[in-house]
Copies of this chain bind each other. A is one copy, B any other.
Amino acid sequence: MPQFRAPIRDFEFILNEVLNVQQYKEKGLKGFEDVDDNLISALLDQGAKLCEEVLFPLNQSGDEQGVSFDKGNVTLPDGFKEAYKTYIESGWTSFTCDPAYGGQGLPEVLNMPIIEMICSANLSFGMTPGLTHGAYNAIYMHGSDEIKQRYLPKMVDGTWSGVMCLTEPQCGTDLGLITTKATPNDDGSYNIDGSKIFISSGEQDATENIIHLVLAKLPDAPDGVKGISLFVVPKMWVNEDGSIGDANGVSCGSIEHKMGIHASPTCVMNYEGAKGYLVGQKHKGLRAMFTMMNEARLYVGIQGLGLAEIAYQNALEYAKERLQGRDLHGPKYPQKKADPLIVHPDIRRMLLIMKSFCEGARMLALQTALKLDVEKRSEDEQEIEQADHFVQLITPILKAYFTDMGHEVANLGMQIYGGHGYIREYGMEQYARDARIAQIYEGANGIQALDLVGRKLPKDTGKYLRSFFHPATEFVAEHRENSDMAEFTKGLHTALKNAQQASLWVAANGMGDPNEAAAASVDYLKLMAIAVMAYMWAQMALAAQKGIKENSSDSEFYEAKLDTARFFMKKVVPTQYGLLATIVEGAKPVMAARL
């Protein structure tokens, strides 16, 4: 049976020792008023308790039982409804939300660890609240005051959920092709007619109401993506006083049978004269949707991290306990019949790929969340802009790299378990199945790569890129003379050099022919991700060096951190050379080939 232990020490290391988030309390950033070591520690402990004791025990049973569908009704697996009740009663849904609607107004950077832990403990469970938060954001940013007043409080307290309804049978990535119709009524509302597919949590039995955010086309809509509008369409009508009225022409036609996330219903949703209200401006629905989508992309990235973490934890335990074969230098435990797997170099190599990803990705997730806090809450224009540029650049990288690595790490975990990894009982294969979807939904990873090379890289001759390259390059300059840091700044320097070379190649060649940028995009994204991760590892190495000097009682933790940083610099950064060599061969072999 797999186990889950929340990586509290690692969260605290990053929050307190690397990012020093407490400094934002002194700087007076909104939401950070109460942020100190005690608050951080209390939140992490409560989140860990929820995940370890309530959500994780339902993960395997939820996968086995799955969701069921009967005449339009969807039933979650046993225990999920009760767990959701516990979850909302503990206030987790309102964590970062605006106090004006009942939220706690806490920072994203403190919410991020909770999200990661939920993704480790029970990915399927996390879908409903995760999507609700996305829907909250879209309404909060683009809805009228009336809509906000009517819907947000119950979404904030979790009584109602929210879902995103984009995909139709004929359109996934290409939203210009949607055919769902919105017909204006005299009272300012609209009637929505059409069908949506792949709607996660589109129907479920844990909340009193489900607020659908639906992309549809008005009668006078221009063709393509410039003619899409966003509507809020509740499953049960909501009266002006906020009470629940009649059913609203929203029904679930069926649920999909999927490779994984069996405890999360993926619904075909039918809208037949369903009444709704416009969110934001006519024909500008895509913009509103992107508000929701950008944060959702970060959230999906964290799914990759969460699953990587649980796979790593269990594979590490297994490698320490399972006796098989002997150390190549001679028996390490001669009194036992065999040595543990962890003596074997390739097992160690796999574990270190897993570990260096999880810890580096955690750092990037938290650094990005902190930038989101600054972007949303600072009053310093320049600081806001810098934060925005960083988030813009990192979003596609984080989404694609974290989910690709989530799948890879889950598969490495299975590999370490050998045949037991393929058996359901041991839990590892579920992580691989669950991880697979994250590479596809919320913009398939190829779309993320196109976003990176098509929008983010060329933006204002590289201003988004500079939000990463400048501080990372400054870090190298600042610490390269520090002998403790030389091996790490050297690795980072190499990673940055490769990333700059690739960026220049893609920018220069993509300008002449967009196919050049597109054909390079996936390799480029990965190469950039490794550079970003190297920056994360260099920052953590610096903090670990400090930790060793100031907190010798915990030196094992810091030394292990340095070991993992070394592994990343020596054994992951060099993989960039293969990516770079492939990129510079250009698009011709791809575009000219007969298929």
A-side residues, CB < 8 A to B, are: 167, 170-174, 176-177, 197-198, 256-260, 266, 316, 319, 323-325, 328-329, 337-338, 342, 344-352, 355, 407, 411, 414-415, 418-419, 421-425, 429, 432-433, 436-437, 439-441, 444-446, 449-450, 514-515, 518-519, 521-522, 556, 559-560, 563-564, 566-567, 570-571, 574-582, 585-595
Contact = CB atoms under 8 A, between A and B. Distances in A.
Contact of A346 (B350, B521, B563): B521
Contacts of A446: 344, 346-347, 350, 415
Given A559-B594, A577-B581, A422 B436 contact: yes
Contacts of A172: 324, 418-419
A174 B421 contact: no
Residue with the greatest number of chain B CB neighbours at <10 A, chosen from A171, A319, A574: A574
A200 B268 CA distance: 38
Contacts of A449: 346
A564 B594 CA distance: 8
A345 B578 contact: no
11 contacts: A173-B324, A259-B433, A328-B514, A329-B515, A345-B590, A411-B436, A414-B440, A422-B440, A560-B593, A560-B594, A563-B593
A72 to B, nearest CB: 20
Contact of A589 (B567, B585, B593): B567
A579 B444 CA distance: 27
B423 A328 contact: no
A450 B346 contact: yes
Contacts of A266: 423
Given A414-B436, A444-B418, A593 B564 contact: yes
A492 to B, nearest CB: 15
A590 to B, nearest CB: 5
Given A346-B446, A419-B440, A518-B345, A589 B574 contact: no
Closest A-B pairs by Cβ, 5 of them = A578-B578, A574-B581, A563-B593, A345-B519, A345-B518
A452 to B, nearest CB: 12
A316 B595 contact: yes
Contacts of A590: 345, 348-349, 352, 567, 571
Contact of A566 (B177, B432, B589): B589
Please state the number of chain copies in the assembly: 2
Nearest to A564: B593
A180 to B, nearest CB: 15
A446 B416 CA distance: 9
Nearest to A583: B574
Residue with the greatest number of chain B CB neighbours at <10 A, chosen from A342, A344, A571: A571
Contacts of A440: 414-415, 418-419, 421-422
Contacts of A348: 519, 590-591, 593, 595
A390 B337 CA distance: 35
A200 to B, nearest CB: 10
Given A560-B595, A575-B581, 12 more contacts: A198-B419, A258-B423, A266-B423, A316-B595, A328-B514, A346-B522, A348-B519, A348-B590, A415-B439, A419-B440, A571-B589, A575-B579
A266 B429 CA distance: 16
A452 B387 CA distance: 49
A522 B349 contact: yes
A246 to B, nearest CB: 32
A118 to B, nearest CB: 21
Contact of A258 (B337, B407, B411, B422): B422
A429 B439 CA distance: 13
Contacts of A418: 172-173, 440, 444
Contacts of A342: 595
Residue with the greatest number of chain B CB neighbours at <10 A, chosen from A259, A424, A522: A259
Contacts of A167: 419
Given A414-B440, A444-B415, A595-B316, A337 B177 contact: yes
B515 A355 contact: no
A402 to B, nearest CB: 16
A423 B581 contact: no
B432 A259 contact: yes
B345 A587 contact: yes
A556 B594 CA distance: 8
A317 to B, nearest CB: 11
Given A174-B338, A577-B578, A593-B560, A423 B345 contact: no
A580 B580 CA distance: 13
Contacts of A432: 259, 436
Nearest to A173: B324
Contacts of A324: 171-174, 177
A566 B588 CA distance: 10
